[in-house]
């Protein structure tokens, strides 16, 4: 039986199977910017290779200052990690939630992080380890609704289970942690900012930590045609910075926002993400965080990447052109796809497994979604890549569908 990876990007195993070089694999299974690493970032990395004999700054001071300027917040609210995934696990390990709300489908690491958090210690202030079984609640998203998250349904799920066995005499325990991936992965849909804030306000009222994962939101900062209420529409590409809720963390002690530098800036090999946290949580998180998880090259690359407006504008131009091409092509060859606000598509097709196998033989990876909660073996996720690569994908899909 074939083992399906929890994530995409396993070019190494496929290259070994096909006996070809890894660079010859066309990887549509990971939603990384097809522009690749910017020239400015490459130059910065080359310049700092000679400093690899020194330990990286464990506090990432320069990077946090730059991120603070970029978002208009205090650097003391920012914590950097080895990708935003490290921070997901750090949050679960530190806060040890007992009842957690997770949409389905969504990023699988939320569930895994919560489930294994019970095995770790409780921090430096307590000497013994407490083991418990977290209670997981799912908000099931539906195909007929385009897999959109309904904020009222999300809030209702946060409030439910008043008679849970975890209820104590002095408090009613609803969800004490909720994860909201926005835009959602693997569906690619962006929830409007006012809807996210409505959920965040309820989380504050319930004393529920809301983790908003904005790993893909950089791809939404150009024109987002689904939403017509943005004053910035029609302005310079890449200027819409208000899609996310980072600035709202300051006034909500139960709101956490995560960002990734891996996807939009094409830096997954360097592993860099960051979180914006309420100030009262920073100390607790640092107690549970390993030192030096962000290497020096990643820190330098991120500082330069954030300043590269040419790269951002080029990304939005490419996304706009290739979305038109892919959607037109999907319709022409009869593939059902769902609307996306980011750089990947969730597609539905009856013989998905056969298609995945056919593409693999051609050295093409797509994301088999059959192991994601809330989906089945008829769903595939496909990233947007260069026009040449997108053309190859459409050609192979057309070939296999005609058989």
pLDDT at 227 over 80: no
The residue with greater pLDDT, 307 or 9, is 307
Ranges of beta strands (E only) in 199-310 are 209-213, 255-260, 273-276
Least confident of 12-21, 89-98, 111-120, 203-212: 111-120
The 10s digit of each residue's pLDDT in 265-275 is 999 999 999 99
Shared domain for 24 and 97, answered yes or no, is: no
Whether 6 is covered by a domain: the verdict is no
Output the pLDDT for position 133: 80
pLDDT grade for 332, boundaries at 50, 70 and 90: very high
Shared domain for 195 and 254, answered yes or no, is: yes
Mean pLDDT value of segment 115-138 = 66
Kindly report the CATH number assigned to the domain that includes residue 218: 3.40.640.10
Shared domain for 88 and 54, answered yes or no, is: yes
As for how many domains the chain has, the answer is: 2
Output the pLDDT for position 173: 54
Structure tokens at 299: 């820190």
Shared domain for 346 and 313, answered yes or no, is: yes
Output the pLDDT for position 123: 46
Shared domain for 322 and 353, answered yes or no, is: yes
Output the pLDDT for position 234: 37
Least confident of 131-135, 169-173, 303-307: 169-173
pLDDT grade for 117, boundaries at 50, 70 and 90: confident
pLDDT at 358 over 90: yes
The residue with greater pLDDT, 298 or 241, is 298
Residues forming a β-bridge with 113: none
Mean pLDDT value of segment 150-179 = 73
pLDDT grade for 236, boundaries at 50, 70 and 90: very low
Mean pLDDT value of segment 160-177 = 58
The 10s digit of each residue's pLDDT in 183-205 is 999 999 999 999 999 999 999 99
Output the pLDDT for position 18: 85
Nearest alpha carbon to residue 379 among 343, 355, 403? 355
Mean pLDDT value of segment 35-60 = 96
Percent of the chain at pLDDT > 70 equals 85
For residues 105 and 381, give the distance between their C-alpha atoms in angstroms, rounded to a whole number.
12
> For the whole model, what pTM was predicted?
0.89
Whether 133 is covered by a domain: the verdict is yes
Shared domain for 50 and 146, answered yes or no, is: yes
Last residue of a domain, one of 305, 338, 355: 305
Whether 5 is covered by a domain: the verdict is no
Structure tokens at 312: 């951002």
Last residue of a domain, one of 255, 287, 305: 305
Output the pLDDT for position 95: 95
Q: What is the CA radius of gyration of the chain?
A: 21
pLDDT at 60 over 60: yes
Kindly report the CATH number assigned to the domain that includes residue 327: 3.90.1150.10
Chain mean pLDDT for the chain: 88
* Three-state DSSP state, 213: strand
pLDDT at 230 over 50: no
Residue 318 to residues 37, 237, 311, 313, 384: CA-CA distances in angstroms? 15, 12, 11, 9, 9
- With a CB cutoff of 8 Å and minimum separation 6, the contacts of 190 are 182, 183, 217, 220, 224, 226, 227, 243, 341, 342
pLDDT at 174 over 90: no
Residue 18 to residues 4, 13, 22, 102, 362: CA-CA distances in angstroms? 17, 9, 10, 37, 9
Output the pLDDT for position 124: 42
Range of the domain at 372: 11-30+309-401
The residue with greater pLDDT, 129 or 180, is 180
């Amino acid at each position: 039986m074939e083992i399906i990876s929890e994530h995409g990007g396993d070019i190494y195993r496929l290259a070994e199977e096909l006996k070809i070089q890894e660079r010859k694999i066309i990887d549509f299974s990971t939603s990384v910017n097809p522009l690749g690493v910017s020239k400015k970032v490459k130059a910065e990395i080359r310049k700092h290779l000679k400093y690899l004999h020194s330990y990286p700054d464990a506090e990432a001071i320069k990077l946090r200052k730059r991120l603070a300027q970029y978002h208009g917040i205090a650097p003391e609210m920012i914590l950097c990690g080895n990708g935003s995934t490290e921070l997901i696990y750090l949050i679960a390990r530190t806060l040890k939630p007992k009842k957690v709300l997770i949409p389905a489908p969504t990023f699988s690491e939320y569930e895994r992080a919560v489930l294994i958090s019970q095995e770790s210690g409780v921090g430096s202030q307590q000497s013994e380890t407490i083991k418990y079984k977290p209670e997981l609640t799912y908000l099931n998203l539906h195909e007929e609704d385009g897999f959109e998250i309904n904020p009222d349904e999300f809030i209702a799920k946060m409030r439910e289970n008043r008679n849970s066995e975890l209820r104590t005499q002095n408090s009613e325990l609803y969800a004490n942690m909720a994860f909201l991936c926005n835009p959602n992965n693997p569906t690619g849909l962006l929830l409007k900012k006012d809807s996210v804030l409505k959920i965040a306000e309820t989380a504050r009222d319930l004393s529920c930590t809301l983790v908003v994962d904005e790993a893909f939101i950089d791809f939404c900062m150009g024109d987002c045609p689904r939403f017509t209420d943005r004053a910035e529409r029609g302005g310079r590409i890449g200027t819409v910075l208000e899609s996310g809720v980072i600035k709202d963390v300051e006034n909500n002690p139960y709101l956490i926002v995560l960002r990734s530098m891996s996807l939009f800036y094409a830096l997954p090999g360097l592993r860099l993400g960051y979180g914006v946290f309420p100030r009262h949580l920073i100390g607790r998180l640092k107690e549970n965080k390993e030192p030096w998880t962000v290497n020096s090259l990643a820190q330098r690359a991120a500082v330069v990447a954030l300043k590269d407006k040419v790269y951002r504008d080029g990304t939005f131009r490419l996304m706009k052109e290739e979305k038109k091409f892919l959607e037109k092509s999907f319709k022409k060859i009869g593939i059902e796809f769902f609307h996306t606000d980011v750089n990947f598509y969730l597609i539905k097709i009856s013989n998905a497994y056969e298609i995945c196998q056919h593409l693999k033989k051609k050295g093409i990876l797509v994301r088999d979604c059959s192991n994601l909660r809330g989906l089945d073996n008829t769903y595939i996720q496909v990233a947007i890549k260069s026009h040449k690569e997108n053309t190859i994908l459409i050609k192979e899909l057309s070939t296999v569908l005609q058989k």
